[in-house]
Amino acid sequence: MRTYDNPVIGGFHPDPSVCRVGEDYYLACSSFEYFPGVPLFHSRDLVHWRQLGNVLDRPGQLDLPDDTPASAGIYAPTLRHHDGRFYLITTDVRGKGTFLVTADRPEGPWSDPVLVDVPGIDPDLAWDEDGTCWCAVAGVTVSRIDPATGKVLEGPLPIWSGTGLQHPEAPHLYRVGDWWYLMIAEGGTAGGHSVSIARARSPRGPYEPAPANPILSHRSTDLPIQSTGHADLVTAPDGTWWMVLLGTRPRGWFPGFHVLGRETFLTPVEWVDGWPRVGPVREQHPAPGAWHPVELPPVRDDFDAPALDPSWISPRSRPDGSWSLTERPGWLTLDAKSGPAFLARRQQHPDCRASVRIDPGSGRAGLSVRMDEAHRYDIEVAGGAVSVVARIGPVRERIAEHAVEPGPVVLTVDIAATDAETRAPDTLAFSVEGPEGAVELAELDGRYLSTQVAGGFTGRVIGMYVTEGEAAFDWFDYQEALR
């Protein structure tokens, strides 16, 4: 029997929302304080996903101020296809509020934002048979809206707020047969996360809760996947039902630490007596009927392409003058004249290696593993020396230093997950390689770059930065380390 491995999209890809158009599936995730916003993926089988781009890829759509806190920004998009057009609705929690964008093709271009004046986060879109558009938000309320203008035509109407657990959120409305189903997350997005569902004859209610709520929860279990929730449903062409959801993979000593953020998982769904039934989310499941492996773009970037790969993200913004692929052809140039510049990609595997070849010139630049500004490990080169610097809350400490000759060097971080009984979830070993060979400089405890220490809703990213002057990067290489 063919099986697939969970997560289907590893690393910091939370709050998945999925829709199917014919035999093609499309999926979007939250991006919080990072630009460009809302990564968008394509699959033919729900298992193998390839990133097409980012929905919010220009400042006119996403303009996050410099003081946007970590884990603020863009929350919980819902992606839908209706009447030949793609719709994505989301919330900028410190900026414009709830808005929607549309496109004829998932690759874009996506429209400028249309503001929707509904209070709350985690907005959803659903259409009745007559074309009426409904928008549900966390809380949970529903409003009838005009998606072309964002005008609220009715509501918001309180409908069903779950079983009484905290933070009823992530509502999704579905029409199945003669019923409207309202699926929500509740219990908070940490260890108590769960999925519950209710149904009604009309989007306005009244809603009848499922007798077996929550229909999914891993709380108080020893399952390796935890915090299961914030789910979305989709049907396959063969009529089977599937659920995408977020989850975490904690490791290490109590209370357990997860460092990759909340990831996207897939699990099968059955319908029993008019209600969806979902078993525990496993690391392996029997695969869907369709099977379409895709060739993913290389994780090594030689910066020879005319544009940046869509997997590259930056905190809050990426001003045009802060980076260039043409100033030194075949290299990525980062410039700190307008402030620190940082380009990163998500860490997607518990065991991995990231390396970069850097020519620092007269600047200060390096390779960083980041949870947020106050929780990061850097290996940087400046003034003829390579240093490993740890930032944990208010403490910033230079851990190690090594002299190097002028010119390009290779900076590397090797990340290795630890055994379950080890206090730390993983270790990060930093090294430098120059003409004289490779030298390991420091090995650091990974728990300080975890959600349990840093807080927030994101996961680790690994990337290149410059804080003084200008530096050039010949290549960046990221690989899963197989044991």
**Is residue 439 over pLDDT 70?**
yes
- 3-class state of residue 146 by DSSP: coil
pTM: 0.97
- 3-class state of residue 446 by DSSP: helix
Domains along the chain?
3-286 (2.115.10.20), 300-480 (2.60.120.200)
> Which of the 8 DSSP states describes residue 251?
B
- 3-class state of residue 322 by DSSP: helix
Kindly indicate the confidence band of residue 420, based on its pLDDT and cuts at 50, 70 and 90. low
Strand partners, 434: 437
> What distance in Å separates the CA atoms of residue 360 and residue 72, rounded to the nearest whole number?
32
> What distance in Å separates the CA atoms of residue 434 and residue 410, rounded to the nearest whole number?
7
Kindly indicate the confidence band of residue 298, based on its pLDDT and cuts at 50, 70 and 90. confident
pLDDT in tens, 122-173: 999 999 999 999 999 999 999 999 999 999 999 999 999 999 999 999 999 9
**Is residue 238 over pLDDT 70?**
yes
> What distance in Å separates the CA atoms of residue 302 and residue 462, rounded to the nearest whole number?
16
Over pLDDT 70: what percentage of the chain? 100
- 3-class state of residue 453 by DSSP: helix
Kindly indicate the confidence band of residue 204, based on its pLDDT and cuts at 50, 70 and 90. very high
| 173 neighbors 124 (Cβ within 8 angstroms) | yes
pLDDT of residue 101: 98
Kindly indicate the confidence band of residue 483, based on its pLDDT and cuts at 50, 70 and 90. low
**Is residue 289 over pLDDT 90?**
no
Q: Which one of 15, 45, 92, 186 is the catalytic residue?
A: 15
- The token duo for 281 is 């989310």
- The token duo for 377 is 């490990």
> Which of the 8 DSSP states describes residue 32?
B
**Is residue 314 over pLDDT 90?**
yes
**Range of weakest confidence among 96-105, 174-183, 209-218, 279-288:** 279-288
- 3-class state of residue 107 by DSSP: coil
Strand partners, 387: 380, 401
| Closest C-alpha among 341, 331, 309 to residue 475 | 331
In 362-476, alpha helices (H)? 451-454
Cα-based distances in Å from 121 to 27, 135, 186, 362: 19, 11, 14, 45
- 3-class state of residue 167 by DSSP: coil
DSSP sequence for 255-267: T-B--S-SEEEEE
Residue of 483 and 236 predicted with greater confidence: 236
Q: Which one of 33, 45, 169, 263 is the catalytic residue?
A: 169
> What distance in Å separates the CA atoms of residue 360 and residue 336, rounded to the nearest whole number?
12
| Closest C-alpha among 235, 262, 224, 231 to residue 245 | 231
- The token duo for 134 is 């409904």
**Range of weakest confidence among 28-42, 133-147, 415-429:** 415-429
pLDDT in tens, 9-29: 999 999 999 999 999 999 999
pLDDT in tens, 225-237: 999 999 999 999 9
| 317 neighbors 73 (Cβ within 8 angstroms) | no
Neighbouring CB atoms inside 10 A of 153's CB total 11
pLDDT of residue 188: 95
Query: Is 15 in the active site?
Result: yes
> What distance in Å separates the CA atoms of residue 2 and residue 217, rounded to the nearest whole number?
26
Kindly indicate the confidence band of residue 277, based on its pLDDT and cuts at 50, 70 and 90. very high
